[in-house]
Structure 1
Amino acid sequence: MRIRNLIGKDVRHLRGIRRWAKAARRAPEMDLDELRETRALARKYLYSMNEVLAVADSRLALPLMGSNAFPKPHGTDWAWRPDLWRRPLPVPGRSAVESKSKLGAELTLFHDCARSELSLRQLRNHREADLAPYGLRMDVFAFDGSFLSLVLDLPHEAVDGLTKGHLLRMSTIVEMEKPLEIFARLNIKHGPNTEQIVRELPLHEDEIMVEFDLAYSNLNEKRIERAWVDIIFENPQMSQVVLRDLTFSRRPRAEF
């Protein structure tokens, strides 16, 4: 039945094309009344077709939903883009966000403000350069706290087989209203201890990327349980930050 319907649609489309091709050939010879009617009908069709083309061009130019495509270093054995940057969230935003509030299943906001004037919102990326389908916008107005961070839980695959011979890379695309300092802190829980490595994001470079080298850590490879990353914002009051993309990858160090 579906094949029959598709064939029927193709036949109708073909008939429509032939009809307008014939009208185009006859236009120089039509009497003025018929030509006027044909022009009016053609304008109606043209308006609808232009609407379809505009919407189609816009949607097809957007990054594909669910995309996990991004550049990865040679030798990568694990790579990941969090769901917030890949798929639409059931609740796309929050305002007056309290500490420990989640946006999606993987991201949690932490702060110590007495009164929250912060908002988080997932937004659709439209730029030609964007590989991620979605981004995250954070607006901060008055800020009376001493810290603000986004905490991202890494999936189990990030620590499955993780050793001190690995490099963990975090890459992002950041837009800011005003200059800020942003830090990334990798946390790996192993037994009763948590290993922490802090890096400042190089926001003035073309590629905003940091790497966590586990060779210099005190990581107990046999007791690794889980990992998460804190994205820490210094002096964020009266600012807007958009994380257009956020990706992670893991690879062995060359000497290992």
Structure 2
Amino acid sequence: MGRILERYLHRKTFARWRRAVQDAAEAPIPQLRQQRDEARRLRAQLDRLIQESTERLSLPLVGSQQFPKPLGTDWCWRPDLWRGPLARPGIASVARKASFDHQVTIFHDCPLSEISARQARNTDDRDLAAFGLNLEIFGFSGSFLSLSLDLPPEAAQGLTRQHLMRIDALLEAERPLEMTARLNVQHGPNTDFVVRSLDISAPLNALDFDLAKLPLNERRIDKIWLDLVLTNPAMNRITLRDLTLCRHHRADL
């Protein structure tokens, strides 16, 4: 009932101003002056609404799963951290094992943690993901810092050695550093992996992990996870604006 009344009042108000525009040429001067002052006050509020709505509507859509996928993709995924707001958006003085949620965990062996991690809203017009991850590292005397991502069970269902697993990462860094991506596949008692290097100087990295050379027991694939390993990350800020994964079949030769 409230919405019906609101729409009715909106139509009446719109009709009133439309009549005022049509009658402006012959309206009495006192009436015209009053309408002008009311219109100016109304325009100020409308301009603010237009500006705010334009800014919000130009942001990437929360929850979006839209991103480019190779031909033949049969599974794709954008983790929750890049899709929507987390209950725990930031971690200060990151512990040696610190989880954002059930999917993303940070590991390191630095005795003095001068590391912070924070989920942040993406605002750039090139962003497809609603959120990104900022890592700030000051002093770092450890031997490794990694971001570990557990893939959902659907990623392992029907996985064969004829598949390629693709990772697309949109990232930035204040200073050059080495970053490697390691895709781990646990099958029965064994775990095998494929390692690829990311080019930190390129904003977009698209990596294909070829499973053909792994001695996988396809019927016993239990778990898949991805490790992003940073080498010498001290005094740096790394922003991972988007991270997506998809699975597609190798092209027929």
Which TM-score band (shorter chain)? Answer: over 0.9
- Counterparts of residues 104-115 of structure 1 (less than 5 Å): 104-115=101-112
| TM-score, with length taken from structure 2 | 0.93
Of the three residues 19, 44, 67, the one matched with 1:70 is 67
- For 2:40, the aligned partner's letter is R
Q: Is the 8 A contact 1:107 1:153 kept in 2?
A: yes
Q: Is the 8 A contact 2:174 2:237 kept in 1?
A: yes
Per the TM alignment, residue 168 of structure 1 is displaced from its structure 2 partner at its CA by 0.5
Other-structure match for 1:50: 47
Q: Is the 8 A contact 2:188 2:220 kept in 1?
A: yes
* 1:38 to 1:221, Cα distance in 2 relative to 1, 3 A: same
Residues 25-51 of structure 1, C-alpha deviation per residue, up to 9 Å, x if partnerless? 444555554444333322221121112
Task: Give the percent of matched residue pairs that are identical in Structure 1 and Structure 2.
Answer: 46
Per the TM alignment, residue 229 of structure 1 is displaced from its structure 2 partner at its CA by 0.5
How many angstroms apart in 1 are the aligned matches of 2:182 and 2:21?
A: 66
Of the three residues 57, 61, 65, the one matched with 2:58 is 61
Residues 84-114 of structure 1, C-alpha deviation per residue, up to 9 Å, x if partnerless? 1111101111111111111122100001111
How many angstroms apart in 1 are the aligned matches of 2:226 and 2:87?
A: 23
SS in 2 for 1:42: helix
Q: Is the 8 A contact 1:202 1:209 kept in 2?
A: no
Deviating more after overlay: 44-53 vs 33-42 = 33-42
Other-structure match for 2:166: 169
How many angstroms apart in 1 are the aligned matches of 2:77 and 2:100?
A: 18
How many angstroms apart in 1 are the aligned matches of 2:20 and 2:252?
A: 73
**Residues 1:140 and 2:137 aligned together:** yes
Other-structure match for 2:188: 191
Aligned length: 253
**Residues 1:14 and 2:11 aligned together:** yes
Q: Is the 8 A contact 1:182 1:200 kept in 2?
A: yes
| TM-score, with length taken from structure 1 | 0.92
How many angstroms apart in 2 are the aligned matches of 1:251 and 1:75?
A: 5
- For 2:241, the aligned partner's letter is R
Residues 42-78 of structure 1, C-alpha deviation per residue, up to 9 Å, x if partnerless? 2221121112111211121111111111111011111
- Counterparts of residues 1-256 of structure 1 (less than 5 Å): 1=1, 5-30=2-27, 33-205=30-202, 207-255=204-252
Q: Is the 8 A contact 1:176 1:242 kept in 2?
A: yes
Q: Is the 8 A contact 1:141 1:239 kept in 2?
A: yes
Gaps of 5+ in 2: none
- For 2:87, the aligned partner's letter is P
Gaps of 5+ in 1: none
